[in-house]
């Protein structure tokens, strides 16, 4: 029996993490956009891998320069900016049949000086990093918005009870604990051309409200509450995925020092940690594999 042939599989390439800062200075009051953009092309690149023929290889440096050139006309929402890049590369090169474009957006706010917001001085702000992904697959466009590093905590209204116990279980049950996590979420839009900035602000607010409002029987239950709230409020969103560590806070035993500790002094452990990941979806609505291909981790 002969050995199977060795062939080229799925592939993509591009320029990763292009830091582009766009200052809009049409008036004395400047605006700033700060993005980290990755461009990856998919298509007919077999000859480059198999024969060293670069006739179809749009240089990664060219992709970088295109990002900078497109920023000259303004960035707008990161989703809209990535859609422009996707349309450009798939429309300019016949052999580019699709690709994946990703961005992280970093927030800045104006410095307050002498009681007023400064026109052109900023301080890095934001409680999270905004993310966006656009996947082009032929004529199809998949837009996935998101955020990461949104650190939240509540000091009570959380517990963990009723779990199975065996000889290795030492964790005591509780109905009053700190619940803390770093929310990473991505949500896929059911269509393109929506108001991405307004929807981002709304989703962020809904996630925070759902985290805060109800008693949490476990981080899993809170995660589902957060996702359900978003889908109930926004039919434009088809599904949402989460990756959320359980940032443990352990009550410190102060009895050796003759002190009580009524849930007031905690040790914040950075590792190991529980890691809770799940998607919240609309029943009967399929999740296209192409949209999520290449996203590292669960989301």
pLDDT in tens, 140-198: 999 999 999 999 999 999 999 999 999 999 999 999 999 999 999 999 999 999 999 99
Say if residue 237 is in the same domain as residue 116: no
- Cβ atoms within 10 A of the Cβ of 11, count? 13
Domain boundary among 84, 106, 138: 138
Say if residue 104 is in the same domain as residue 217: no
Rounded mean pLDDT of the chain? 97
265: containing domain: 148-298
Residue 296 Cα to chain centre, angstroms: 11
Residue 26 annotated in ligand binding: no
Instruction: Write out pLDDT tens, residues 222-234.
Output: 999 999 999 999 9
Q: Which one, of 228, 40, 15, 201, lies nearest residue 133 by Cα?
A: 40
What is the average per-residue pLDDT within 247-273?
97
- Cβ atoms within 10 A of the Cβ of 261, count? 13
pLDDT over threshold 90, residue 126? no
Q: Which one, of 161, 153, 280, lies nearest residue 217 by Cα?
A: 161
State the pLDDT confidence band at 134, using cuts at 50, 70 and 90.
very high
* Residue percentage of the chain with pLDDT more than 90: 96
The pLDDT score that the predictor gives to residue 220 is 98
Dist. CA 236–CA 144, nearest whole Å: 12
Partners of residue 142 on adjacent β-strands: 135
Say if residue 198 is in the same domain as residue 119: no
Dist. CA 39–CA 17, nearest whole Å: 8
Residue 12 annotated in ligand binding: no
Check: CB of residue 67 under 8 Å from CB of residue 81: no
**CATH number of the domain encompassing residue 14:** 3.10.270.10
Say if residue 152 is in the same domain as residue 274: yes
Check: CB of residue 219 under 8 Å from CB of residue 179: yes
Q: How many domains does the chain have?
A: 2
Exposure string (b/e) for 146-167, b if CB count within 10 Å is 16 or more?
Answer: bbbebebeeeeebbbeeeeeee
The reply to whether 33 falls in a domain is yes
The reply to whether 143 falls in a domain is no
Inter-CA distances, 27 with 30, 80, 249, Å: 6, 24, 49
Residue 177 annotated in ligand binding: yes
pLDDT over threshold 90, residue 250? yes
What amino acid positions are annotated as catalytic residues?
Answer: 15, 60, 248
pLDDT over threshold 80, residue 60? yes
* Residue percentage of the chain with pLDDT more than 70: 100
Q: Which of 23-27, 255-259, 291-295 has the least mean pLDDT? A: 291-295
Instruction: Write out pLDDT tens, residues 110-119.
Output: 999 999 999 9
Partners of residue 151 on adjacent β-strands: 182
Instruction: Write out pLDDT tens, residues 185-217.
Output: 999 999 999 999 999 999 999 999 999 999 999
Contacts of 293 (CB under 8 A, 6+ apart): 100, 135
pLDDT over threshold 90, residue 294? no
Domain boundary among 138, 171, 200: 138
Say if residue 184 is in the same domain as residue 133: no
Check: CB of residue 137 under 8 Å from CB of residue 163: no
Residue 53 annotated in ligand binding: no
State the pLDDT confidence band at 1, using cuts at 50, 70 and 90.
confident
The pLDDT score that the predictor gives to residue 167 is 98
Instruction: Write out pLDDT tens, residues 65-89.
Output: 999 999 999 999 999 999 999 999 9
Say if residue 190 is in the same domain as residue 130: no
The reply to whether 116 falls in a domain is yes
Dist. CA 87–CA 58, nearest whole Å: 15
Say if residue 157 is in the same domain as residue 103: no
């Amino acid at each position: 029996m002969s050995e199977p042939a060795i062939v080229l599989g799925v592939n993509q390439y591009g320029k990763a993490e292009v830091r582009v800062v766009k200052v809009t200075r049409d008036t004395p009051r400047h605006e700033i956009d700060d993005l980290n953009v990755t461009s990856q092309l998919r298509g007919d690149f077999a000859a480059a891998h198999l024969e060293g023929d670069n006739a179809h290889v749009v240089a990664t440096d060219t992709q970088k320069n295109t990002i900078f050139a497109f920023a000259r006309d303004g960035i707008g929402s990161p989703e809209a900016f990535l859609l422009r890049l996707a349309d450009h590369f798939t429309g300019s090169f016949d052999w580019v049949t699709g690709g994946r474009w990703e961005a992280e957006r970093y927030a800045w706010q104006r410095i307050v000086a002498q009681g007023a917001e400064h026109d052109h001085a900023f301080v890095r702000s934001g409680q999270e990093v905004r993310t966006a992904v656009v996947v082009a697959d032929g004529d199809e466009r998949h837009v996935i918005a998101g955020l990461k590093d949104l650190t939240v905590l509540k000091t009570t209204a959380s517990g963990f009870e009723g779990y199975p116990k065996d000889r290795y279980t030492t964790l005591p049950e509780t109905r009053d604990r700190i619940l803390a996590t770093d929310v990473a979420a991505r949500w896929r839009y059911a269509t393109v051309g929506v108001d991405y900035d307004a929807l981002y602000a709304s989703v962020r607010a809904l996630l925070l409200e759902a985290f805060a409002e109800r008693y949490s029987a476990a981080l899993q239950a809170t995660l589902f509450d957060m996702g359900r709230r978003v889908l109930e409020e926004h039919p434009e969103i088809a599904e949402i995925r989460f990756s959320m560590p359980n940032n443990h806070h352990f009550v410190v035993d102060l009895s050796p020092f003759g002190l009580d500790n009524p849930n007031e002094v905690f040790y914040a452990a950075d590792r190991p940690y529980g890691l809770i990941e799940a998607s919240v979806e609309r029943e009967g609505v399929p999740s296209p594999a192409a949209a999520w291909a290449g996203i590292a981790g669960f989301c």
